[in-house]
Structure 1
Amino acid sequence: MKNIFTLLVFVLGMIGAYAQEEIPSLTYGNTQDINFFSSIKNGASVKEYTTANNNIIKVGDTIVLGLPTSHETNTRTYANSYGSDSRGTVAESRSTSTKTFQFIKMGKPAGLGIIVTTMSDESQDMADMSLKNTNVVVKEIKTYHRGSKKKPLYVVLVLGELNGRAFGVYKYLSVMDTELAIESGEILLKNQKMTREEAIAKLKEAKELMDVELMNREEFEDLKKELTPLIKNQN
């Protein structure tokens, strides 16, 4: 009974620590600026987030799940007897490998269920290959510290199905690190801006096409003018 009471006090304390706070607009620069992030509570709600590549994500936006980038291996051991004299048992191990998302988990990022799961040391259930190319809607945007309040923030997206149904037994998905999920291609934003590396690659490809006369000089110069700001302004 004492243990149950202690657990209840701990859970209520954790829920209180994640009290609601709303930030109208958050940028990647804010998440790295100690003068800003040191005053932000864990679990603060965000209405609009501007990523490191200046893409804007708002509550209510539709995004697409890309491809999983992690492998999950399950190993099972079987004990079998061979022959009519049953001289003994032989253990066999069979492994199966499935692709899972590294940054997208099933369920919400916080709350009583997640706290209890964490305390019982259960592994998180990551989304799998069956959800690739799924259109989802951003239901919530949350931000958390990478440790204490003196640590930078990271941004979590809570995603729901477009038709309001659940992802199997789960109502929501959580993108546990938005920047890394974008960088890895696990989430794809609508009207996503080209990165500096992508702009350079596209310009190099255009130069090669011009060299073999599959693109004329005027088309190349127009593309170069369009891509130059992306190449020069991003570090």
Structure 2
Amino acid sequence: MKKTITFFIVLMSGVNIYAQENIDLLTYENTQDINFFSSIKNGAQVKEYVTVSKNSVKIGDTLILGTPTSQEVNTRTYSGSYGTKARGGVAQSRSTAKKTYEFLQMGRPAGFGSIMAAMNGDAQSMADNSLKNTSVVVNEIKTYHRGSKNKPLYVVMVLGEINGRAFGINKYLSVMDTELAIESGEVLLKNRKMTRDEAIAKLKEAKELMEIDMMSKEDFEKLKKELAPIITAKPQN
């Protein structure tokens, strides 16, 4: 028991050790640049993060939870008995499935619940489909290395509910990889910038509408001018 308590204290102290650095603005390019990320400590606090698609996420921003992209299957086996009498040792299995988020974890990334789950060898509890379309507030943005200090960074967001309400006993949600969560549609940004592919698709649709006289040439040219900077921009690596 004493060893367990000591291990828990070490873990908790380790959580605080690395959260001493603040970054006012972090970009996706920074996270991939060894000249930048080699000097960043795990758990560094970030005030604003600019994604690979040039969208900005700040502390206090409101986001929307999109559609879960994973599925959790639970199987339970029932013995073939009725009352106190067994029925020939027959057993039945019943499986239930529910949609879960791949990148949205219940609780903080290194909170009490996460540490206890790790100590018990349990999997992390992921958010499920019941939270789809929920509005959330960005409470914290943190960045961590993908391994050693010489590995690129990834960004974690801690989310809270609107008006200070809590997500049950966990109180918060953690987006364990911001870029992948946005790319998969599990997290939806408000005022998100249109991607190049989306701009091309929209312009093609407008051209088809113009050809069948459902859009004027003037409106098409106006839209074309608006979308041109997005379409002609240099694609991200």
Fold match (TM-score > 0.5): yes
Instruction: State the match for 2:170 in structure 1.
Output: 170
1:232 is matched by which residue type in structure 2?
T
Residue 21 of structure 1 corresponds to: 21
Q: How do 1:186-197 residues align onto structure 2 when only pairs under 5 Å count? A: 186-197=186-197
Gap change, CA 1:62 and 1:106, over 3 Å in 2? same
Shift of the alpha carbon at 1:46?
Answer: 0.3
Cα pair distance change 1:222/1:154, threshold 3 Å: same
Q: 1:181 — aligned with what?
A: 181
**Count of matched residue pairs:** 234
Indicate the percent of aligned positions where both proteins have the same amino acid.
66
Distance in 2 between residues matched to 1:12 and 1:98, nearest whole Å: 32
Name 1:206's counterpart in structure 2: 206
Unaligned stretches of 5+ residues in structure 2: none
Aligned to 1:148: 148
* Contact 2:80 2:86 survives alignment (8 Å): no
Q: Is the 8 A contact 1:15 1:112 kept in 2?
A: no
Match in the other structure for 2:71: 71
Offset at residue 18 of structure 1 (A)? 2.4
Alignment CA distance shift 1:125-1:210 (3 Å): same
- Confirm whether residue 223 of structure 1 aligns to residue 214 of structure 2: no
- For residue 169 of structure 1, give the secondary structure of its aligned residue in structure 2: helix
Written as runs of structure 1 = structure 2, the 5 A alignment for 1:47-126 is 47-81=47-81, 86-126=86-126
| Cα distance in 2 for residues equivalent to 1:8 and 1:128 | 28
The CA distance in 1 between the partners of 2:11 and 2:196, in whole Å, is 45
Structure 1 residue 91: Cα displacement: 1.1
Residues 218 and 52 from structure 1, CA distance in 2 versus in 1: closer, same or farther, beyond 3 angstroms?
same
Q: State the 4+ residue runs in structure 1 displaced beyond 4 angstroms.
A: none
1: CA distance between counterparts of 2:95 and 2:113? 30
Q: Secondary structure at the match of 2:199?
A: helix
Q: Deviations over 1:171-226 (max 9, x none)?
A: 10001111111111111111111111111111111111112111122111111111
Structure 1 counterpart of 2:7? 7
Where does 1:25-40 land on structure 2 (aligned, <5 Å)?
A: 25-40=25-40
RMSD of Structure 2 on Structure 1 (CA): 1.9
In the superposition, relative to structure 1, how do residues 165 and 9 fare at CA in structure 2: closer, same or farther (>3 Å)? Answer: closer
Mapped to 2, the partners of 1:9 and 1:122 lie a distance apart of: 19
When residues 199 and 156 of structure 1 are mapped into structure 2, their CA distance, relative to the original with a 3 A threshold, is: same
* Distance 1:106-1:234 versus aligned 2 partners, 3 A rule: farther
Distance across 2 between alignment mates of 1:159 and 1:151: 26
1:187/1:9 Cα in 2 relative to 1: closer, same or farther (>3 Å)? closer
Shift, 1:57, TM fit: 0.7
Q: Give the Cα–Cα distance (whole angstroms) in 1 for the partners of residues 57 and 86 of structure 2.
A: 64
State how far apart, in whole Å, the 1-side matches of 2:71 and 2:8 are. 36
Paired amino acid for 1:178: T
Cα distance between partner residues in 1 of 2:127 and 2:98: 11
**SS of corresponding position for 2:164:** coil
1:155 alignment partner, SS class? strand
Following TM superposition, by how much is the alpha carbon of 1:9 offset from its aligned partner in structure 2, in angstroms? 5.9
The CA deviation at 1:80 is: 1.3
**Structure 1: gaps of 5 or more residues:** none
| Residues 16-47 of structure 1, C-alpha deviations (whole Å, 9 max, x = no match) | 54232110111111011110001000000000
* Aligned-partner residue type, residue 46 of structure 1: V
